């Protein structure tokens, strides 16, 4: 039976839920999702797991996340283990290549993963990203320069852009 540790990070009233298995972050949920989404995600990915709240176990991850929000950290070092299909994995790996403070379009990511016409499928894969911020789906914008979508809400995407100095 797996143990999934979890904790929460709160920034200016917004909370992010963290989960880790075997010392790797597997989930970071956005402010609108809450604990219920974390619990549902864990139940789907690790049906026989025990979910245990542990600020101590999660402290290194939460501290690194906080350093990002305060501008002290521009790249994450935390080990991650996102669960998804092979196509989703490929898309998320492409997102990890987008530098801090820069953006790419859905079409750019589609081309990067070798499927230049699959920008809608790329958008769906990005929307399924289980590790918000660390896997920087917020850095993907529409081809016309607009924000595009964001599973945690456009207000959160704007806030993340502000942290990174991204101006559209």
- Catalytic residue flag (residue 26): no
- From residue 141, give the alpha-carbon distance in Å to each of 20, 79, 94, 110: 28, 26, 14, 13
Angle, vertex CA 94, rays to CA 125 and CA 143, nearest 5: 70
Sign for the pseudo-dihedral over CA of 56, 61, 64, 66: negative
The residue from 26, 91, 137, 163 that is catalytic is 137
Question: What are the respective helix, strand and coil percentages of the chain, to the nearest 5?
Answer: 40, 20, 40
By annotation, the residues acting in catalysis are: 137
């Amino acid at each position: 039976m797996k143990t999934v540790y979890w904790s929460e990070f709160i920034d200016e009233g917004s909370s992010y839920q963290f989960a880790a298995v075997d010392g790797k972050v597997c989930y970071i949920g956005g402010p609108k999702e809450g604990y219920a989404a974390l619990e549902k995600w864990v139940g789907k990915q690790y049906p026989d797991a025990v979910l245990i709240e542990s600020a101590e176990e999660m402290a290194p991850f939460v501290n690194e996340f906080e350093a990002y929000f305060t501008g002290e950290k521009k790249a994450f070092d935390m080990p991650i283990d996102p669960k998804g299909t092979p196509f989703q994995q490929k898309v998320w790996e492409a997102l990890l290549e987008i530098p801090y403070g820069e953006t790419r379009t859905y079409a750019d990511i589609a081309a990067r993963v070798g499927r230049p016409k699959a920008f809608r499928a790329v958008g769906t894969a990005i929307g399924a990203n289980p590790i918000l911020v660390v896997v920087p789906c917020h850095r993907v914008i529409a081809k016309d320069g607009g924000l595009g979508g964001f599973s945690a809400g456009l207000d959160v995407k704007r806030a993340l852009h502000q942290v990174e100095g991204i101006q559209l």
